[in-house]
Structure 1
């Protein structure tokens, strides 16, 4: 049998760093002429063909002192074996043991280095899939790497394309069923030369609510009550509003001047971009709440009586146009879209659910609100589908659903922050 010879060959190779010290050769010993391919991944598993002579009977193959788990004699001049794992970058000896002896080919096989993954862009993708990503690193093309398999959070990516040895592009698949939104996931890239995993580099979005608390932005899943702080912006914002084309608007103070201005913000890029100063006839106004009704942006003044007004806001300049007379309303009230010409209005969460016309500014009283905090200002309001949500100006911040007919408020979730605005997530989530 070949096993004593195999053990002797393996120990000799290890002890001699690839050089067999004793000569046990015979005329009928196997001879190794070549290996195809002569290099492969360090994880092993590739099928390698040895050509030579004297291959018969019970055969074993040893690569750098490690026995192959499978080896089959195809003919007296050919053996096919499964490559065992090895050390990446090493050039190693290969030995063959048969019933009649053994043969060694020195420096006959090279274990290729595994691929290296350095970065992925963007680092956030939709849970529904379809996000195009670019992965950078090395070892993606050279050394017969082949087309890689990429998984993100356990879900295989599609449309994998090798750009060059340092760049691969792919499209994310739908999230695995057990994936949690905004929880960092690992990326795995496997090609013919092995696998590389980098942990906690990619997150998945999901639809829901966005709540702002000065510079912090929270994502909230009303159905599960899960929430995650997803961003820390460079300056405080409030009165967030989602446009029909998916852009997020807000109110902020201009650096240097401190004037109230209309801005856009991107929670993932962590940017706040100035649009223009919120001016009505030269007077700077703070918006306590803003909302899109159709394609028009509206805001309610954040100041106290008697100057509080409902405004139409120019989305390109921040210019304000007052709608109707000043409103006899409290400071920092909230509004949300009701229909094509009306907004909901809430001052405190134990007051009433009112309506305001976006054409005349006329107020129509509604049902009394019950179930919220006593004298807590409604500091954020939005509608998702047919559900009206309102948040309280409190710390921690409570979010409720509001029955639009009865005014009954039902607690949804409480987050550890003082909420100053509430809006729905963009379609890009």
Structure 2
């Protein structure tokens, strides 16, 4: 991997916190008219927020390298496959849609990798950053090979200190997105040892996967799970069906769970490494000047049309009915154990995670403005908390399961599990000049940080 230290600005501010916990909560934003990446690192023990700013030009290095590959392979004319399939495709071939480009550059995936370091993956630009809070330094990470893309999400093994990540070929990605939607691209799972800087390949296969999301490796390193998030709509406004892939890292066998709508996120069970939960994220994006009501009525799942004005174009985002599925891995493959779905009462599952509270196991998800809490054993609704906040994005839970940590555009919040009471603890919109364009949909929590 090519690692380069980039210029970043670190500062620290105080905030009010009524419960002292040895944890940190992290999320990211694109702000200041789309020019700046900002990472917010909340220290719940010392009631301090570390704010890290850097130019998003550092996050676009690998994106521009992809453009060179496009030009070299004469892929400028993409009318042979006209439907929008990924934000990568749109950002690459309609550069004037600057808002979509930066939207793909959102710091969407954050993982803790030990020693006060955070791995930050961008949703569509196929590169990463490592933010080191101890050294107060940010390092840009891109593949050594020009024709290789870096998956946006990693998985960290707390016991061994190893970092797992995905790579796949640029040429195969372009073939899949522009020419042949059934094309199988070469994917590899690699393992990085930060202490020795050694990188080894633990699995490779040719699969029909386009936009990787939700990559996780189980705690015992038995399975790797990731989703193919094709969050696009076809000409009839139907969601592209996509799949979740499960890799048996011991036998090297690859299993596919097909027929999902907008699958995005993967969450291993906290107790059983053979059990995991996957979401039908349910968001589709089409880029047009106008989205009609007639188009929305073609699909019963499309219950909300959100129009977001980017710099040069209006983007119609369709949000559909979401679902959460519970699976168990067996020698014969993944077996479905249960599903939670509630139609129009459960939309756009932006994030979900499994946790314990007072001896019971739950799954929490967001269906803005609600926090949806599901009994993980029965896959039925436990309760919904109405935060009254839109848009509600990130979500995590305290170590004891008694409090949720949330973020919306301007506020970091703590929500009580039992009462549902919302308390705003810090509003960075008031503390920092500059318009906030987008907040990461993923909130990261690290326990026993100090």
Q: TM-score, normalised by structure 2?
A: 0.35
Q: Which has the higher contact order (CA 8 A, sep 6+)?
A: 2
Query: Which structure has the greater CA radius of gyration?
Result: 1
Q: Say which structure is richer in helix.
A: 2
TM-score (norm 1): 0.36
